[in-house]
Structure 1
């Protein structure tokens, strides 16, 4: 039994909390397919970002510091928390200021950057990756293998390779595209813990509202 418990602990991805900021190896940029999030969570919450006037497709979930194995979170640090104006200003690419605040608290502080610099870096990372326009033009929900979404991102971004991108799914829907980047925001291979490709077969791709 002790040997089994040790094996499970060693096999699980290492995740630290309360670490010192600035110590990490690379970033994972997570792009959420907003229509799927709205269908599974946002509509029930009455989330403003799900209102059709916003026309959200792939929005920035977050820019997450990573170790080669595992990731830090909720790091200790003295950086000043962002103002309401700073978090609200991220809603155009993140969907809400509340998400921006949460991402700073859980991930941003671990970068060792100020809140202003972290949000600026997040915006630059988001702008460097082309989001395939074909998914915005869907007229009805479709079912497709997750690798089709990955291939569309690879085609739209010639600098990406398959081991730099992972597509996740949840509740039978495409959920996120995660792209691994160096600390200078150049594409790089993902560490093992960051590779979480969808294994559900054909899944739903919701329509932009």
Structure 2
């Protein structure tokens, strides 16, 4: 299950660690108790929800550290990188659309879960355009997908560096999301940093397995770095 990703990494990978942080007493972010109906896309088989660890993005490149995402005062932790339509093998991207531009006002409505207007526009053109949905419906599904996932409490406001085994991060997400199958999540790493947690979902946003992704994309490092959340 190859995943379309701006980083050029294959499908869902989950990475991270569960070392207790100073704020480990916080409750996990809770998904709704019941899943409301969402618009059902066409022309693909399932989604990958990619959650990026924003502090790693900011730490990996000094130039990016000056961006609004990294220097804008918001305490970004896990943010939505994208919601990617997938085939059982391969994925569509850059599909024709009559609405290539996302109005800035609409993009700003997503800044609580996505860190930059430019990223929002890019994700629509590359991935959302292949969902068979209108812009409004695609972003509604993207938000609902994010709300479907509980973030483990130790990652909500991480106050110090962690160097977990990637499997620890995966186990933390599985514990926080009991219906998520172990082969439906993957962690990605880049150099020494944890970069993303990727989760497979059906078109109705129920969790599903992704055997090929889990085999191909798992982070192979014994330990990864999770820089702390800054700002706020």
Is 1:24 matched with 2:44? Answer: yes
Q: What is residue 18 of structure 1 aligned with on the other side? A: none
1:199 paired with 2:220, answer yes
2:107 aligns with one of 78, 87, 101: 87
Moved segments of 4+, more than 3 Å = 12-15, 77-81, 136-139
What stretches of structure 2 of length at least 5 have no aligned partner? 5-40
Q: Which residue of 2 aligns with 1:103?
A: 123
| CA offset digits 1:67-87 (Å, max 9, x no partner) | 111111001233564211111
Identify which of structures 1 and 2 has the higher relative contact order when contacts are C-alpha pairs closer than 8 Å and 6+ apart.
2
Q: So what's the TM-score if we normalise by structure 1?
A: 0.85
Q: Please identify the structure whose Cα radius of gyration is greater.
A: 1
User: For structure 1, which segment, 133-142 or 114-123, has the greater mean C-alpha deviation from structure 2 after superposition?
Assistant: 133-142
- Could you tell me whether the CA contact under 8 Å between 2:100 and 2:125 is conserved in 1? no
Which residue in the other structure is 1:44 paired with? 63
Alignment match, 1:57: 77
* Aligned equivalent of 1:6: none
- Tell me which protein shows more strand as a share of its residues: 1
> What whole-Å deviation, never above 9, does each CA across 1:127-168 have from its counterpart, x for those lacking one?
110011212343321211101000000000111111010011
Cα deviations by residue, 1:43-92 (Å, 9 ceiling, x for unpaired): 51311111362111100000000011111100123356421111122121
Residues 165-204 of structure 1 aligned to structure 2 (within 5 Å): 165-193=185-213, 195-204=216-225
Q: Does the 8 A contact of 2:160 with 2:228 survive in 1?
A: yes
- Between Structure 1 and Structure 2, the one with more helix by share is 1
For residues 91-148 of structure 1, what are the alpha-carbon distances to aligned partners after superposition, in whole Å with 9 as ceiling and x for unaligned? 2101011110000000000001111111111001001100112123433212111010
- Count of matched residue pairs: 192
Q: Is the 8 A contact 1:82 1:116 kept in 2?
A: no
Q: Is the 8 A contact 1:49 1:96 kept in 2?
A: yes
Alignment match, 1:8: none
Root mean square deviation, CA, Å: 2.1
**TM-score, with normalisation over the residues of structure 2?**
0.77
Which ranges in structure 1 are unaligned for 5 or more consecutive residues? 1-11, 16-20
